[in-house]
Amino acid sequence: MKIAVLSGKGGAGKTLVSVNLAAAAKEATYMDCDVEEPNGHLFFKPGKVHTEFVYNKIPVVDEQRCTGCRTCVDFCKFNALAYINGKLRIFEEICHSCGGCQLFCPEDALWEKNKAIGKIETGVSENVQVLTGVLNTGEASGIPIINRLFEAGQNTQNHTIIDCPPGSACSVMESIEDADYCVLVAEPTLFGAHNLKMVHELVTLFKKPHGVVLNKCVEGDNPSEEFCVNHNIRILEKIPYDTELGTLNSNAFIAVREQTAYRQLFSSLLQKIVKEVAYETTTHP
């Protein structure tokens, strides 16, 4: 079963929830798809880390064959190519690796080469297999890294917890595409509720069964909770605002591995999700 954990903003508690869900399972795979700033590994501190680089295809020109027709220059919507002084220039960091320039070159003068855009790291932390995607700074898109993470994690029989990037853009869509269930984490603020609305729209669009974890709950109004009540969204758990949990978390400890109360909270959360998915598969097969 694949469980994606997402939120409309950073700092709502995606990593807290996903790391602890994985730690609370008997055995699990934790997949960090927040490739621009992966941080789950800071908690798991996995051992036996295996690194694999991820590449994109970038065009290279055969200058003997290039006639300077500029078909490729005119084709490229990102303007990654220029023809100057009788030579084709390729701006690698602008290229989005669509391959169109090679397809359209009438002289077969363009080839492709590999360019490393990041890596995935695989390691083990007690009961959890930890997969981390890392995108190199300055690269345009983390999608190829996320795709590679899913390939690397596809053979596991255990629960897979997907720690998504913040927001509701392409990389989040890629991260939830294969998920059986989406957990939306939200803060008890107006801003939190606004961002919850955005990710809720996204999971509704993707027709994903979903529920909400309300994080950092305090006494008084909770705009995110109101949003859930008004829209009939299942509230899976309310995590209280707890300085002890905050301290554990900011020192990169996994609450589930340190405190029985949190082990119980996250085990129960995981069980609720598993039940929800079982219910979904019987009612919407």
Per CB under 8 A, residues contacting other proteins are: 73, 76-85, 87, 89, 91, 94
Least distance (Å) from other proteins to the CB of residue 81?
A: 8
Give me the helices (H) in the chain, please.
Answer: 14-24, 40-44, 71-75, 100-104, 143-152, 170-176, 190-205, 223-230, 243-250, 255-258, 260-283
C-beta of 19 vs 81, nearer to other proteins: 81
Least distance (Å) from other proteins to the CB of residue 54?
A: 21
Least distance (Å) from other proteins to the CB of residue 116?
A: 19
C-beta of 24 vs 81, nearer to other proteins: 81
C-beta of 76 vs 110, nearer to other proteins: 76
204-to-160, 196, 199, 233, 284 alpha-carbon distances in Å: 21, 12, 8, 11, 15
**Among the listed residues 251, 20, 53, 51, the one whose alpha carbon sits nearest the alpha carbon of residue 125:** 20
Least distance (Å) from other proteins to the CB of residue 110?
A: 17
C-beta of 89 vs 231, nearer to other proteins: 89
Which helix or strand (DSSP H or E) is residue 113 part of? strand 110-125
Handedness of CA 202, 24, 193, 280 (dihedral sign): positive
Residue 74: how many CA atoms within 13 Å on its side-chain side? 6
C-beta of 115 vs 238, nearer to other proteins: 115
> Do residues 57 and 97 make contact, with C-beta atoms less than 8 angstroms apart?
yes
Least distance (Å) from other proteins to the CB of residue 83?
A: 7
C-beta of 79 vs 114, nearer to other proteins: 79
Structure-token match 């002084």, residue found: 85
- Amino acid 114 reads N
C-beta of 84 vs 218, nearer to other proteins: 84
> Do residues 163 and 2 make contact, with C-beta atoms less than 8 angstroms apart?
no
* Those residues with Cβ within 8 angstroms of residue 215's Cβ, 6 or more apart along the chain or in another chain: 12, 13, 16, 17, 185, 186, 187, 188, 239
The Cα–Cα gap between 268 and 66 comes to 64
C-beta of 87 vs 231, nearer to other proteins: 87
Counting every residue, how long is the chain?
285
Least distance (Å) from other proteins to the CB of residue 98?
A: 12
Least distance (Å) from other proteins to the CB of residue 220?
A: 37
Least distance (Å) from other proteins to the CB of residue 269?
A: 37
